[in-house]
Amino acid sequence: MGQQKIVVIGGVAAGASAAAKARRDNEKAEIVIYEKGPYVSFANCGLPYYISRDIKEREDLFLMTPEFFYERYRVIVKVNHEVVKIDRVKKQVEIKKQSGEIFTDTYDKLVIATGGTPIKPPIPGGNLENIFTLFTVPDLDAIEKALAGGDVEKVVIVGGGYIGLEATEAFLKRGKKVTLIEKMDQLLPYLDEDMAVPLAIHLENLGARVILKNGVKEFKGEKRVQEIILENDEAVEADLVILAIGARPQLELIKAAGLKIGPAGGVEVDATLRTSDPDIYAGGDIIETIHLVTGRKVRIPLAGPANKQGRIIGANVVGGRRFFKGVLGTSIVKAGELTAAKTGIGEREAKELGLAYFVSYTPSLHHAGYYPGARHLLIKLVVAEHSGKILGAQIVGWQGVDKRIDVLATAIHASMTVEDLEDLDLAYAPPYSSAKDPVTIAGFVAANILRGEIDLITPEAIKKAIAKVTRDDWQIIDVRTPQEYQEEGSIPGAVFIPVDQLRERHKELNTEKKTALYCKVGYRSYLGYKILKDLGFKEVYNISGGYMGYKSDLGIAPTKGQTSSGN
């Protein structure tokens, strides 16, 4: 292909990736990036980690400079240049400089990667000083300037999503008194509620105050924010506020140009990431694409898909034929020492879609229990009821979460079933895993459910059952050791019979009652389940995930022992 003019609007993840790939595939094309902000290709995901000083140097946040972009790729980058209009007929864009001067530029192919902008709701007092978002480098600089003043002690984070949790950890590391406010009844609303519980517990253990089911009604102060009035009229003192309640896609330019917007609220693109205009491509936070589990259009603003989309766009604008197949929404976040991750869909989404599914919980140690430092992680699988196909996975734990969620994301991408998980040949050495990896254990348990080899009841279901029925309807059996029973607590009303005494003491129980057994993580209660079934008990269940799953509390010391849940 000969000379052509490629204009890219937006110079961060998708835009920068598109420009670099276009140059690699076509040395002759003229490529220009117009970036509204003062920086190009910066690590916005790293901003909280500079506040915490996990990232020591501010310069480390910059992946590329305009000068280096030109030196290496011969791509012209113009920062502080905002594209304010697209004329699709003339194939030109109108650009406003920082000075206010307006000029136009032409294109053969146009790439739009304008990204998102933080949501700032019209809350009274929202214009007071020291109320910030944490989205760009200028945001970061403003926050650091406020902290440098030396009179910021009480920090309030509004929003319990990715940025909210990361910011909470960051300010705790800076020695601040932190309050985290989330309007919903859980942190990380994209997780199932039961999987989010450990995060709130852990952040409070680290010293943060976590307020759920309460929003912000008003910011109060003289010139600078001093307190926040919540919806229940409680006042929370604040020297600095971070608004982290999400971002909306920047679609004004696109809508004005008449490009089609899809049902999920993002720019509609085909598999090549071309918009409704054949000469205009789009990627990143602004577009919607196919969810690989549901087949539905979704808009999931994550850095991984944005970078891959940019690479595909860069190839296609210079004549390639690459396709973006879709997303699983695989994500991971660190909150203190805990890590939470998700891929595919959760139980809440499966219910909303009316799918036939079941779930399994498996607490496991991230490496061999006899090797020092073993710590728990909890895996929740959402599985298609008849086929056993994995629909989604969520993990919360201290270590080893990242590699397990990536294995499960790969399994979902490959349309694998839970029986396939049983057969995976995963690496094992005591410092890294167990002979039966947590993913394999999750496969064992879920496959047992699929084959009808065990009847499980979820912690959520047993809590509801306890709340609704009398003691005459259920008998709940705690099969742990006396020490565990005394020191760790128990499910209300549970009968304590250690698993090794169950054969001798089973006559203390009623064979006709609904019977649910639990231990710490589910393995010993699985053995108890098998014993009672063979002894003629009519309706027996193993509580999935054991007492740990019931409490949804991973705030425990490293332990040794069995890690399976009915394999």
Catalytic residue flag (residue 45): yes
Where b means 16+ CB within 10 Å and e means fewer, 506-523 reads beebeeebbbbbbbbbbb
> E strands of 270-408, at which residues?
280-282, 287-290, 297-298, 331-335, 338-344, 357-365, 376-384, 390-397
- Residue 337's nearest CA partner among 205, 244, 156, 162 is 205
CB atoms within 10 A of CB 207: 13
Cβ atoms 30, 36 nearer than 8 A: no
> E strands of 164-204, at which residues?
177-182
Strands 390-397 and 338-344: antiparallel
Those residues whose C-beta lies under 8 Å from the C-beta of residue 30, and which sit 6 or more positions away, are: 3, 4, 5, 6, 76
- Residue 164's nearest CA partner among 210, 206, 228 is 210
Q: What is the DSSP string of 34-89?
A: EESSS-SSB-GGGHHHHHTTSS--GGGGBS--HHHHHHHH--EEEESEEEEEEETT
CA distance 301 to 110: 21
User: Of the listed 4, 25, 45, 177, which one is catalytic?
Assistant: 45
CA distance 329 to 293: 10
Cβ atoms 307, 283 nearer than 8 A: no
Assigned token pair, 239: 């020297």
Helix (H) or strand (E) run with residue 310 in it: helix 303-317
Cβ atoms 70, 33 nearer than 8 A: no
Which amino acid, one-letter code, is at 352? E
CA distance 348 to 340: 17
Which residue has 């993990």 as its token pair?
395
Cβ atoms 231, 214 nearer than 8 A: yes
Which amino acid, one-letter code, is at 101? E
The residues carrying an active-site annotation are 45
